[in-house]
DNA sequence: ATTATATATTGCAATATTACGATAATATTT
DNA sequence: AAATATTATCGTAATATTGCAATATATAAT
């Protein structure tokens, strides 16, 4: 008990839920927004911008990384995080499809 | 410790996260998909369709209701659940905006 | 090599979520 | 009024998430 029964749902349903879960925290929304607004992609200052501790930010970044949304490369001592545009579009499509496939003739 | 620090984020960021949280469970995705596919909206059989217990389904429905996505009216002994089209479009726009506002010139 | 700076990992406590049995509430039917 | 059917709520156990201090790791600069 207590654990999500993923096995009774379809792959697509689990996929959407998994992606949504990453967006289900304001810190991760804020991180994605911040990174996307940067011209360059040196994101050293997320800790100051967001206002959470460095380990916490690091963990959130890791959650975002898990669904393939971040490309990270070292540039000097700083880690350069960028949003993976291909993956971003994929997720956009996933959500678009989900929101589009809804029946209108009800109630 | 342990609780999300909502107060350090913007209303919009918290809003998106809150909506995403509802979609962050495959059962709720499945429920929304099922309801949207029905011509009529008598959704008594969700328990059989999804494969979770009646209390669990009821709780999930409640989560969906909390963000205003469900219109529910009693029709006889059965509860008639429908998706609120207005609200649905709002959420669709919220996500669309979020996914659109992303910088392209990076990395 | 040592120091400084940036990010990752570990360990742990607080809180939240998920799921279901038992039970209550509500409405229909007999 | 009693029985039936459907949904909601309560209580509780299992699991997951959130957040941070402490520590480890990695690169840069001195």
Top CATH class, A10-97: mainly alpha
The pLDDT profile of chain B, 107 residues, written as one tens digit per residue, is: 779 999 999 999 999 999 999 999 999 999 999 988 876 665 678 999 999 999 999 999 999 999 999 887 766 666 778 888 899 999 999 999 999 977 655 55
Which chain A residues are Cβ-neighbours of B27 within 8 angstroms? Answer: 4-5, 9
Q: How far apart are CA A91 and CA B28, in angstroms?
A: 18
The pLDDT tens digits of the residues spanning A16-33 come to 999 999 999 999 999 999
Contacts of residue B67, Cβ cutoff 8 Å, sequence gap at least 6: B18, B19, B22, B87, B91
Q: How far apart are CA B104 and CA A102, in angstroms?
A: 30
Asked if B101 and A5 come within 8 Å (Cβ–Cβ), the reply is: no
Does the CB of B52 sit below 7 A from strand C?
A: yes
Which letter does DSSP use for residue A45 in this model?
T
Which chain B residues are Cβ-neighbours of A38 within 8 angstroms? Answer: 103, 106
Asked if B99 and A107 come within 8 Å (Cβ–Cβ), the reply is: no
> What is the band of A45 on the pLDDT scale with cuts at 50, 70, 90?
confident
Does the CB of A56 sit below 7 A from strand C?
A: no
In chain B, what are the domain boundaries?
22-99
pLDDT number for residue A41: 58
> What is the band of A51 on the pLDDT scale with cuts at 50, 70, 90?
very high
Reference B71, options B57, B81, B58; nearest CA is B81
Shortest alpha-carbon distance between residue A44 and chain B (Å): 15
Nearest nucleotide to the CA of A59, by C1', is C8
Other residues' Cβ atoms within 10 Å of the Cβ of residue B74:
8
Q: Show the tokens assigned to A98.
A: 């989900």
The pLDDT tens digits of the residues spanning A76-101 come to 667 788 889 999 999 999 999 999 98
Architecture of domain B22-99: Orthogonal Bundle (1.10)
Other residues' Cβ atoms within 10 Å of the Cβ of residue A93:
11
Answer whether A28's CB lies under 8 Å from A64's CB.
yes
pLDDT number for residue A76: 64
CA distances from A68 to A19, A61, A93, B8, B16 (A): 10, 11, 15, 26, 20
Does the CB of B4 sit below 7 A from strand D?
A: yes
The helices-and-strands tally (H runs, E runs) of chain A is 5, 2
């Amino acid at each position: 008990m207590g654990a999500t029964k993923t096995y009774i749902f379809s792959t697509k349903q689990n996929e959407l839920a998994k992606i949504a879960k990453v967006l289900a925290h304001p810190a991760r929304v804020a991180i994605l927004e911040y990174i996307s607004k940067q011209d360059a992609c040196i994101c050293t200052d997320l800790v100051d911008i967001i206002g959470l501790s460095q380990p916490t930010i690091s963990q959130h970044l890791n959650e975002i990384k898990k669904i393939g949304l971040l490309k990270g490369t070292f540039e000097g001592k700083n880690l350069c995080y960028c949003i993976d545009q291909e993956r971003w579009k994929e997720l956009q499509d996933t959500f678009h499809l989900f929101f589009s496939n809804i029946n209108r003739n009800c109630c």
